Amino acid sequence: MSNLLLVPLEDTVVFPNMTVTLTVEVGDEDQVLLVPRHEHDYAKVGTVAEVIDRVRLPGGGRAVALAGSHRGVIGAAASDSQGRLRVDVEERPDDEPRTGRVKELELEYRAVVEEILELRDADERVGAFLRSIGEPGALADTAGYSPDLTFEQKVELLETLDVAERLELAVRLQRERLAELQVRRRIRDDVESGAQKQQREYFLRKQMDSIRKELGEDEGSVIEEYRKKIEEAGMPEAVREQADRELRRLETMGEGSGESSMIRTYLDWLVSVPWAKRSEETLDPVHAREILDADHAGLEDVKERIVEYLAVRKLRQDRGIPNDKRSGAILTLIGPPGTGKTSIGESIAKALGREFVRMSLGGVRDEAEIRGHRRTYIGALPGRLVRALRDAGTMNPVIMLDEVDKVGADWRGDPSAALLEVLDPAQNHSFRDHYLDVELDLSEVVFIATANVAETIPGPLLDRMEVIRFDGYTVDEKLAIARGYLWPRQVERNGLRAEEVAVEDATLKLVVSEYTREAGVRQLERELGKILRKVATRVASGEDGPVMVDLATVRDALGRQRFFQEAAERTAVPGVATGLAVTGTGGDVLFVEATSMDGGRDLVLTGQLGDVMKESARIALSYVRSHSGELGIDERSFDDRAFHVHVPAGAIPKDGPSAGITMATALASLLSGRPVKHTVGMTGEVTLQGRVLPIGGLKQKVLAAHAAGLTDVIIPERNRADLEDVPEDVREEMRFHPVMTLGEVLDLALEPAVQLHAVS
């Protein structure tokens, strides 16, 4: 035990075998105890050090050179006469335990430190110094030299008196250092090798470029090409920036990678939008009317409405009145198939001098169809609007939204919401396609929508639409269309010359009424095509002179007449009545059949009937039963009988109350044995009291009745005013019977009762 002057070292640890020069006060002592201190905390162990030199510093201060010798544990402390702290010191030089464990740790320690030195690219002399140390305790203390150890770790090392324990601690500390160094090295390596790879690729690409040049292929041609296309596209500022950004990415990436082909696809789309292209609009109502007339027969109301619409548009434009929700309403053409909606849309584009594109919405159930998928999707593409603009090649085309009534919605989002945005003048100047992800100005696009029925158009969309109805054509209108448009077109399509074939109006009319049953003219055009193919065959096989298409030619090409006198055949037996209905394909006649069978009191209904229609069948049966007396029906006919009402015409679902009087008539006919007149068609809702209520779609129904060869139509009294909509020529050829009660209906519709004379 010795008593030594305590020299505190602020946040510094001096180990045995270390020689240091410090500016500390040591008086004239030869030996002191150096004790690490942090704030007021002293370590429990210090280093006994010899004072080997005293130096005067240039500034006047004094410094001492001290050589650490061995550890000393601090004992009792006391101040000396000069107020300095002196302590009792239990001196603890390391013992030399050459146990196997210590040897092992020694080896381990050396190995770890060698690795560290290697990683650090340390001076060779450090390693040599390390190898020169023979004592395990001193070896462990070399860990204290490490700049990476914290003060606390160094103190812990100093306080560990047991050599084996100290070595263990030193190994652990050095391992931690090593691990940390290794991680750092790996990160650096990764970064470096990445950079090297980029460099390598850069050189390879340069080489490729020069090879291309040798071969006469332009260097960087792809990038240059895009640059040129972007330059020429006349994009708005923001889009241009986006394009340039992508181009830069493409440049640094080099061709060939998957990512770069995605960028190229994107750029292809971006430059395919006709950013700066627009048609000069010609908005002259007179000229518009001429074009509409040139392409379409009839359709007076429709053409007039369209011309008005265009005139208002022009006025607003000339006077700089911006479009709002009301004035910007979307022209919507609603009507049965083949009535010319799509083709008049084309004419509107022609009249405006704009490009025309059709965008079919039938079956679209995904918002992304309209708006595109985000680019993060594999195989993402822009939506249909962007594609429509690309196809149009201008930013102000007429875009026809075909079949808006067939847009669906499901979990993938509601396409009609996207459509609403597209159609809203307040929003559509900044439409954002998910794929392109830049703003598109759609405000100059003229949208026209078409639909077969209004009922299934999503409400909010319908709200924004200005509806023009196409009700279907009369036979005479169809004749005019056939003569003026369909026939010449089919003549040409079949390689014939106009003078090689002729047809009389009467024959065309026969094709219309006996071979087609439709509101439009699509089927008619097909039938004419069939006839003309036959004619073409004859002309091609050398037949002389103009071919006259007569009845025989028609029969030859089209077979037996299809629709003639269907009503007469069907209503020949009691229990069948001819009704009139409006379906998605326009007006149509339908035959309601009633039968009965023994047993039960059921009413069976078949033919894909909706609930409303079933309900009106029950009402009809109840009415007939409760009025059996007036109708001359034996009340016992109802006893123990089941009734069956069937509405044929395929699997088309039918609903609505307007077949009420037809079902009642069929039942009354069945029970009374009086057949329904074959010239009579009817439509009207019926109540339990037998009142006849008004129905919708009168014009379409009357046209269908007319086309089917019916001459008498029973209608509800309250629909009388709607007859005005029916074309004059049809009205002249038919008789209308407005009624208030079912009694009147039966009087008009049923053949007189046949007086059966008993044969004796």
Ligand X SMILES: Nc1ncnc2c1ncn2[C@@H]1O[C@H](COP(=O)(O)OP(=O)(O)OP(=O)(O)O)[C@@H](O)[C@H]1O
* Residues noted as catalytic: 658, 701
Bridge partners of 646, per DSSP, are: 593, 606
Judged by CB under 6 A, does residue 298 bind ligand X?
Answer: yes
Residue-wise burial string across 649-658, b where 16 or more C-beta atoms lie within 10 A, e elsewhere: eeeeebebbb
Nearest distance in Å: CB 522, ligand X: 5
Query: Cα separation of 503 and 497, whole Å?
Result: 13
- 711 alpha carbon, distance to own chain's centre: 51
| Residue sitting closest to ligand X (CB) | 340
Q: Considering only residues 102, 139, 143, 299, which one is a binding residue for ligand X as defined by CB under 6 A?
A: 299
Residue least distant from Mg ion (Cβ): 342
Q: Exactly one of 357, 395, 481, 705 binds ligand X (CB under 6 A); which one?
A: 481
Q: What residue 709 binds from ligand X, Mg ion, none (CB within 5 to 8 A, per partner kind)?
A: none
The Cα–Cα gap between 374 and 621 comes to 59
How far apart are CB 347 and ligand X at their closest, in Å?
A: 9
CB of 302 to ligand X, least distance (A): 9
Q: How big is the site for ligand X, counted in residues (CB under 6 A)?
A: 18
- Judged by CB under 6 A, the residue of 137, 285, 328, 340 near ligand X is 340
Q: How far is CA 485 from the centre of its chain?
A: 39
What is the radius of gyration, based on Cα positions, of the chain? Answer: 50
Q: Which is nearer to ligand X, 160 or 452 (CB)?
A: 452
Please give the DSSP secondary-structure letter assigned to residue 153. Answer: H
Closest CB 493 distance from ligand X, rounded Å: 11
- Which of 398, 633 has the CB closer to Mg ion? 398
Taking the least distance from each CB to ligand X, the nearer of 530 and 644 is: 530
Site for Mg ion in 281-300 (CB under 5 A): none
Work out what residue 699 binds among ligand X, Mg ion, none; the CB cut-off runs from 5 to 8 Å by kind. none
Among 153, 339, 342, 585, binds Mg ion (CB under 5 A): 342
Contact region for ligand X (CB under 6 A) — 169-177, 178-186, 516-524, 613-621?
516-524
| Residue with tokens 């460099």, as numbered in its chain | 199
Convert residues 677-696 into a mask of x (bound to ligand X by CB under 6 A) and - (unbound): --------------------
The reply to whether 341 sits near ligand X by the rule CB under 6 A is: yes
Angle between helices 300-318 and 341-352 in degrees, nearest 10: 30
Residue type, 560: R
Complete DSSP assignment for 552-589: HHHHHHH-S-SSTTHHHHHTTSTTEEEEEEEETTEEEE
The string of DSSP letters for 733-747 reads H-EEEEESBHHHHHH
C-alpha closest to that of 733 among 513, 519, 582:
513
Q: Is 696 helix (H, G, I), strand (E, B) or coil?
A: coil
Q: Does 277 bind ligand X (CB under 6 A)?
A: no
Query: Least CB distance from residue 298 to ligand X, whole Å?
Result: 5
**Rule CB under 6 A: is residue 342 a binding residue for ligand X?**
yes
Please name the residues in contact with 571: beta carbons below 8 A apart, sequence gap of 6 or more.
577, 578, 591, 675, 676, 677, 678
Shortest reach from residue 272's CB to Mg ion, in Å? 26
Residue number, 342 or 700, with CB nearest to Mg ion: 342
CA 421 from chain centre, in angstroms, equals 14
Q: Which residues contact 585 (CB under 8 A, 6 or more apart)?
A: 336, 337, 452, 518, 519
Which residues, other chains included, contact 324 with Cβ-Cβ below 8 Å and sequence gap of 6+? 425, 426
Using the rule CB under 6 A, is 522 a contact of ligand X? yes
* Contacted entry of ligand X, Mg ion, none for residue 705, CB cut-off 5 to 8 Å set by kind: none
Which of 285, 338, 372, 690 binds ligand X (CB under 6 A)? It is 338
452 binds ligand X (CB under 6 A): yes
Nearer to ligand X, 481 or 663 (CB): 481
Given a contact cutoff of 8 angstroms between Cβ atoms, the answer to whether 329 and 467 are in contact is: no
Sign of CA dihedral 337, 340, 344, 347: positive
Strand partners, 126: none
Does the protein bind ligand X through residue 332 (CB under 6 A)?
Answer: no
Q: How far is the CB of 584 from ligand X (least distance, A)?
A: 9
Single residue of 296, 625, 646, 737 touching ligand X by CB under 6 A: 296
343 binds, among Mg ion, ligand X, none (CB under 5 to 8 A by kind): ligand X
Q: Does 586 contact ligand X by CB under 6 A?
A: no
- Give the footprint of Mg ion on this chain (CB under 5 A): 342
- Give the footprint of ligand X on this chain (CB under 6 A): 296-299, 337-343, 450, 452, 481, 485, 520-522
